[in-house]
Structure 1
Amino acid sequence: MGDPMPYIMLATALFLIVGMVLMLTRLIGGPSLYDRLLAVNSFGTKTVLFLCVFGFIIDRPDGIDIALLYALMNFIATIAVLKFFSYKALAVDLRDVADVSTEEVQ
């Protein structure tokens, strides 16, 4: 009997792909913007996991660096989109933020 690890890795990759397809269906059919944003973020997380598993399947674990870079880009993009839809712009006037913080203190 051989090593079961390649079969476990392939099964894990298959389950990740199924999860990614489910996230794509939520992205297309999501009723609100936040459902779609959550689906994109979850898809990005599953992509990072898939890149790690795929790197180990092809016996090149240095692909983890690419997965970490993709995770960082996914996080920054999610924050940028949330900030854009919250403030209707990516730039926020710091004077407005300072006015709000001084009102909260008093």
Structure 2
Amino acid sequence: MTVVWVIAAVMITAAAAITMFRLLAGPSTLDRLVAVDTLIAVAMCGVGIWAAYSLDSTVTYGLTALALISFVGSVSVARFRVPDIKDGRGPR
């Protein structure tokens, strides 16, 4: 059973690394917003895996809080973001 936990940890770590690359290299703010949402989802999966591994259900409250905060943050950023300038000068 330990092999399953190691494989899960490696996959979560790889997903976080790929998402961090997209977060840092994203050409637009919406790409970065999607990367932040994905990184939060990967973190939630990691916490869920930890809860299953350690048989500790107290971290599920943290999962709920993280889900609510990330949803509200994503909606507010998508609503109030400033559009990217397309002429090559970058945002002002």
- TM-score, normalised to structure 1's length? 0.71
Residue number in structure 1 paired with 2:65: 69
Show CA shifts across 1:21-51 (max 9, x none): 1101100000111110000000011111110
Deviates more, 1:78-87 or 1:17-26: 78-87
Distance 1:71 1:10 in 2: 25
Deviates more, 1:8-17 or 1:74-83: 8-17
Q: Which has the larger radius of gyration?
A: 1
> RMSD in angstroms over aligned alpha carbons?
1.7
* Distance apart, 1:7 and its partner CA: 2.5
SS in 1 for 2:55: coil
* Distance apart, 1:66 and its partner CA: 0.8
- List alignment gaps of at least 5 residues for structure 2: 84-92
Distance 1:64 1:10 in 2: 21
- TM-score, normalised to structure 2's length? 0.80
* Distance apart, 1:86 and its partner CA: 6.1
Percent same amino acid at aligned positions?
19
